[in-house]
Amino acid sequence: MPEKKTQTINISTSTILRVFLLILFLIFLYLIRDIIVIFIFALIIASAMTPIVNTLEKIKIPRVIGTLLVFILFLGIIVFLLYLVIPSIARDVEKLSLHLPDYIEKLTLKFQGFTDRFSKYNRLFDQLAVFLTSVRDFLKNSSSNLFATALNVFGGIFSFALILVVSFYISVQKKGIQRVLTAIIPLQYRDYILDLWERAQKKLGRWLQGQLFLGLIVGSMVYIGLYFLDVKYALVLALLAGILEIFPYIGPVLAAVPAIIIGFLQAPILGVWVIILYVAVQQIENYLIVPLVIGKVVELNPVAVILALLIGGKLGGIPGMILSVPLAAVFAEFLRDLIKRRAEK
């Protein structure tokens, strides 16, 4: 009878200590996750501003003054645009928050009447009616707290101010993060990490610039289309379309839903025209605007983008979804480097 061979696995004290320290580090990251999110937002904003600041520095404008000018201009444009549209948006949001639950209720009743003619689809229509009812109830409960909801989404006024302050200091310090990385990264990895950071910073900056421009263009197209179709709350719906562009693939669909509902309730043929409008805008975006504006900045396929959005939403809610795509693009850059190095060996 052959002897059984026994295998012994030795785990050193140093290995146990490393695992323990890694677990502690991950717990620490989880505890400060809100601070990390603020820093990443600030980093993306700074990455978008830095090329402009560098250009101003080349024409002999001191970096601090150049950074101040860029941020003042950025905030000035936002304040000016808000000053122009806030009164109309406030009125429309108030009306929409009051009337949308009733719109949903009317739509639910229409579907209930529609099922009489198509009884074999009763189960599907019942499910849709239940869904619309739940949306109506949610809107009734949340319509009075729109401002509080907005503050929660964006992390509050304090967090927003903190993001701006941190992004300002990152922009002022020329190659400040590179100096920190140089100090803490081992020599054998230093050149690669610095190169990866430089590429990541450019990618993050271009992504934010592209998204802002994309949101502006799409929001403008939607507003013009809804205005000429005489759809109610055109400005609010267009603003929603522009903001939700930050979520690829999912955002445009979510933005279209309330517009289509309102269009159908005004007149069935108007609802059809609203669908045509949003489909046309989406096609123009996909085949004309995105290739020109975003280009190959993200370099992720649709499945990877949707997966990143789902993971980001699960881990960090709305802020996590916003950050998921640019961070996934940076991670993909690292994976491409890793695959390339292994292929060369």
Radius of gyration in angstroms for the set of CA atoms belonging to the chain, rounded to a whole number = 25
Rounded to 10 degrees, the C-alpha dihedral 219/291/301/333 comes to -110
Write down the pTM of the prediction.
0.68
Rounded to 10 degrees, the C-alpha dihedral 309/314/316/317 comes to 80
Question: What band does 276 get if pLDDT is binned at 50, 70 and 90?
Answer: very high
SS3 label, residue 302: helix
What does the alpha-carbon distance between residue 98 and residue 140 come to, in Å, rounded to a whole number? 8
Question: What band does 144 get if pLDDT is binned at 50, 70 and 90?
Answer: very low
Predicted local distance difference test score (pLDDT) of residue 187 = 81
pLDDT, tens digit (0-9, with 9 covering 90-100), for 8-58: 556 667 778 878 888 888 888 888 888 888 888 888 888 888 888 888 888
**Burial of 85 by CB count in 10 Å (0-12 exposed, 13-18 middle, 19+ buried)?**
middle
Q: In sequence order, which residues have a C-beta less than 8 Å from that of residue 169 and are 6 or more positions away?
A: 176
Mean pLDDT score, 237-242: 88
Percent share of the chain, pLDDT over 90? 7
One-letter amino acid at 319 equals P
pLDDT, tens digit (0-9, with 9 covering 90-100), for 160-205: 788 888 888 888 887 777 777 777 777 888 888 888 888 887 887 7
DSSP state for residue 213 in the 8-state scheme: H
Question: What band does 147 get if pLDDT is binned at 50, 70 and 90?
Answer: very low
Q: How many CB atoms are closer than 10 A to CB 278? A: 24
Delimit the domains of the chain by residue range. 32-135+154-174, 204-294, 298-344
| 258 closest CA partner among 86, 96, 143 | 96
Mean pLDDT score, 228-234: 89
Question: What band does 123 get if pLDDT is binned at 50, 70 and 90?
Answer: low
pLDDT: which is higher, 332 or 133: 332
What does the alpha-carbon distance between residue 295 and residue 282 come to, in Å, rounded to a whole number? 16
Q: In sequence order, which residues have a C-beta less than 8 Å from that of residue 270 and are 6 or more positions away?
A: 229, 230, 231, 263, 264
What does the alpha-carbon distance between residue 7 and residue 9 come to, in Å, rounded to a whole number? 7
What does the alpha-carbon distance between residue 172 and residue 22 come to, in Å, rounded to a whole number? 33
User: Considering the chain, what is the average pLDDT of its residues?
Assistant: 77
DSSP state for residue 175 in the 8-state scheme: T
SS3 label, residue 32: coil
Say if residue 143's pLDDT is above 50.
Answer: no
Please measure the distance between the N-terminal and C-terminal CA atoms of the chain and give it in whole angstroms: 45
Strand runs (DSSP E) across the chain, as ranges? none
- Cα–Cα distances in angstroms (integers) from residue 155 to residues 35, 97, 151, 236, 328, in the given order: 11, 22, 6, 22, 22
Predicted local distance difference test score (pLDDT) of residue 250 = 82
Over the range 86-110, which residues count as b (16 or more CB within 10 Å of their CB) and which as e?
eeebeebbeebbebbbebbbbbbee
Please check whether residue 43 is in contact with residue 181, taking contact to mean a CB–CB distance below 8 angstroms: no
- For 306, the token pair is 């949707």
Mean pLDDT is lowest, of 72-86, 149-163, 172-186, 329-343, for 149-163
| 241 closest CA partner among 228, 257, 230 | 257
Mean pLDDT score, 323-331: 82
Rounded to 10 degrees, the C-alpha dihedral 29/314/318/37 comes to 10
What does the alpha-carbon distance between residue 289 and residue 47 come to, in Å, rounded to a whole number? 22
Predicted local distance difference test score (pLDDT) of residue 80 = 78
pLDDT: which is higher, 279 or 312: 279
What does the alpha-carbon distance between residue 143 and residue 100 come to, in Å, rounded to a whole number? 9
